[in-house]
Amino acid sequence: MAEYKEPLPKIDEDILTDNHEELVRQITPKDIYNSLFQRRVIDLDELNKIKQEERQHGRRAGVEELLERIHRSGPKGLERFIDSLKSSGYRSLAQKLQESRQTKTEPVPETDKSTAKILQESCETRTNRTNQEKPSEPRVEENDNRFEKNDVKPNKHGEILRNNYNSIMDTIRVDDIIDHLYTERVIEWNDMDVIRTKLKSEGNREALRYLMDIIIKFSHTALPTFIDCLKHNGYGYIAKLLQDELKSCQSE
């Protein structure tokens, strides 16, 4: 069995997330999985699973499966992954991950800590002063219907997505866009797992439906990123529909 099974540390998790799309684009699993096995990053069952995914669904699926194992390879998982990249001919990728790791783990200089402390104390002072000067909020009676939800304007971003929902569902392949959306933190790793599972067992439409539920739920922040993702992955026509409607709403 592999030596570690717990998740990566948060810093290492973020580094993998930031570089996910490039790793998927460049790595060929068969170049590296034996090295990962020798370094006990993955066990024999996991090695066979990666091989199976690559054989049945192609290189990209194999890389996705491999990276999923790296995400769960423990405190030294990323370090060993970087070593495997170096020994398997991916030195530039290894260097990029190593530099990211060094940057994120460098200690904060004492001068920066002092500055941060001063800024924090200043902010707290201003906040306290503001709270003291702020007039009390008006009390809202339970039967005051001025504050009912019906008076709140609907989420325009959500409306835009719903207006174009059928076009999106009929056009987009979910596996074309999930890596980009994951890298941009629109979806989480657990979401990726669910989407892949649905894609394999229920097909593209159900996987895309699950993804769209997430995007609509967080549409106030996710829509611009979703549009950008479509532009960069061959869905310029759908991106333009959404962008034009978004501009129209902004000009109202």
Share of the chain above pLDDT 90, in %: 8
Residue 234 region by backbone torsions, left for phi larger than 0, else alpha for psi between -120 and 50, else beta: left
The pLDDT of residue 217 is: 85
- Residues contacting residue 231 through CB under 8 Å, at least 6 positions apart: 239
Pick the closest to residue 162 from 79, 245, 230 (CA basis): 245
Q: What is the CATH T-level fold of the domain 10-105, as seen in this structure?
A: Death Domain, Fas (1.10.533)
**Structural domain boundaries in the chain:** 10-105, 154-250
d(CA 40, CA 36): 6
Query: What is the per-residue pLDDT across 142-155, written as a single tens digit (0 to 9) for each?
Result: 443 433 333 324 46
- pLDDT tens for each residue of 101-125: 888 765 545 545 555 555 566 555 5
Return the pLDDT at 119. 56
52: Cα within 13 Å, side-chain hemisphere: 6
Q: Is there a shared CATH topology between the 10-105 domain and the 154-250 domain?
A: yes
Of 140 and 44, the one with more pLDDT = 44
Provide the CATH number for the domain formed by 154-250 in this structure. Answer: 1.10.533.10
Give the pLDDT band (50/70/90) at residue 138.
very low
Tell me the pLDDT band of 216, cut-offs 50, 70 and 90. Answer: confident
**pLDDT above 70 as % of the chain:** 77
- In this prediction, residues 222-243 reach a mean pLDDT of 89
